[in-house]
């Protein structure tokens, strides 16, 4: 697949100013994607720090290393009408969709200013057309249902899944019904090759890429960490689902650099080194001339959000 943006594009004339928005929708594509990825990375690193200080409620699962997927896929959507169904590793998807940094941090800190009033926590978010659920495969049936309910509006539903969800029966029931009924659903599989602490080879048989083929569902696949390439492929998949009122399978080979949850990471040192070598941030940084200004802007957004959330009252009841 050929990207519409040159690999070495830079934007030296761009100024990141105090009035810039977290999602940077007004920015050139490469800069916008880099800013969103950095925002997700810095936010999740701060969440791990806050957790270590005992300032978060419940658990938290970061998507460090998988930012390109969130940014590439979500930017291919129509945020006003498409529906996003995420999972336990939802922060990156949520930020790429909403830019609500303070609302997310406040939510996980159990504050009333959180997007769900401080009661949903890290895994259970509901904001406009964005929903997440920590139950493996639990969002796939509702993704099919919402796609069917709103396809006359031209809406597409997107369900994010991991390789660890490939053993859930609800996933295959959903694929079957989506194909039979013609539901415009994009099933996005983020394959980071490990489910919590269990390698994929011990839990998944056969090919994940080919999983949807027996259901007559078209497959799109990409093994890389370039958000622009992911965006182009996701845009093709979403366009297909919308135009044909058909489901599709979008497979993305990715890497989880951080722990499964908080600090539990049992992977061998060599495997962790291999994962870090695929970090999507450094290649994008080399394509943006003023990355220091963007990094500083994103850090200031996160800092202000933490300060504001910490000052808000705790949720009660």
* Per-residue pLDDT tens over the stretch 71-105: 999 999 999 999 999 998 899 999 999 999 999 99
State mean pLDDT over 111-123: 94
Does residue 120 fall inside a structural domain? yes
Q: What is the CATH number of the domain that holds 225?
A: 3.40.50.970
Note whether 31 and 94 are within 8 A (CB).
Answer: no
Higher pLDDT, 273 or 127: 127
Residue 9 lies in a domain: no
> Is 242 part of any domain?
yes
Residue 16 counted as domain residue: no
In a domain, 7, yes or no: no
DSSP state of 258: S
* Confidence grade of residue 274 (pLDDT, cut at 50, 70, 90): confident
Q: Is 13 within a domain?
A: no
With respect to residue 54, please indicate whether it lies within any of the assigned structural domains: no
pLDDT of res. 263: 66
Q: CA 96 → CA 80, 130, 165, 232, distances in Å?
A: 14, 11, 22, 16
For residue 103, give its domain range.
65-280
**Residue 47 to residue 107: CA distance in whole angstroms:** 11
200: which DSSP letter?
Answer: G
- The pLDDT assigned to 296 comes to 96
- Residue 33 forms part of a structural domain: no
Taking 60 as the threshold, does the pLDDT of residue 106 lie above it?
Answer: yes
Domain count, the chain: 1
pLDDT of 138 strictly over 60: yes
Q: How does the average pLDDT of the chain come out, rounded? A: 90
Top pLDDT among 214 and 276 is at: 214
């Amino acid at each position: 697949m050929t990207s519409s943006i040159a690999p070495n594009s830079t934007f030296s004339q761009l100024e990141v100013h105090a009035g810039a928005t977290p999602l940077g929708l007004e920015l050139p594509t490469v800069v916008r994607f880099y800013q969103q990825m950095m925002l997700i990375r810095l936010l999740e690193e701060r969440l791990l720090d806050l957790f270590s200080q005992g300032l978060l409620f419940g658990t938290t699962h970061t998507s460090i290393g998988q930012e390109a997927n969130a940014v590439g896929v979500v930017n291919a959507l129509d945020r006003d009408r498409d529906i996003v169904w995420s999972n336990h590793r939802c922060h990156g998807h949520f930020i790429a969709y909403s830019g609500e940094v303070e609302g997310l941090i406040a939510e996980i800190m159990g504050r009333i200013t959180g997007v769900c009033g401080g009661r949903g926590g890290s895994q259970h978010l509901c904001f406009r057309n964005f929903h997440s659920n920590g139950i493996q495969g639990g969002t796939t049936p509702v993704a099919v249902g919402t796609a069917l309910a709103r396809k006359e509006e031209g809406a597409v539903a997107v369900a994010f899944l991991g390789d660890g969800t490939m053993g859930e029966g609800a996933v295959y029931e959903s694929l079957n019904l989506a194909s039979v009924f013609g539901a415009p659903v994009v099933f996005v599989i983020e394959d980071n090759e490990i489910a919590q602490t269990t390698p994929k080879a011990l839990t998944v048989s056969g090919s994940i890429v080919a999983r949807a083929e027996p259901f007559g569902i078209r497959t799109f696949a990409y093994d890389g960490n370039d958000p622009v390439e992911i965006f182009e492929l996701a845009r093709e998949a979403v366009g297909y689902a919308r135009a044909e009122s058909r489901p599709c399978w979008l497979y993305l080979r990715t890497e989880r650099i951080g722990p499964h949850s908080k600090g539990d990471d049992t992977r061998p040192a060599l495997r962790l080194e291999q994962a870090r070598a695929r970090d999507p941030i450094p290649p994008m940084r080399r394509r943006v001339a003023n990355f220091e200004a963007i990094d500083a802007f994103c850090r200031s957004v996160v800092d202000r959000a933490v300060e504001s959330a910490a000052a808000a009252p705790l949720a009660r009841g």
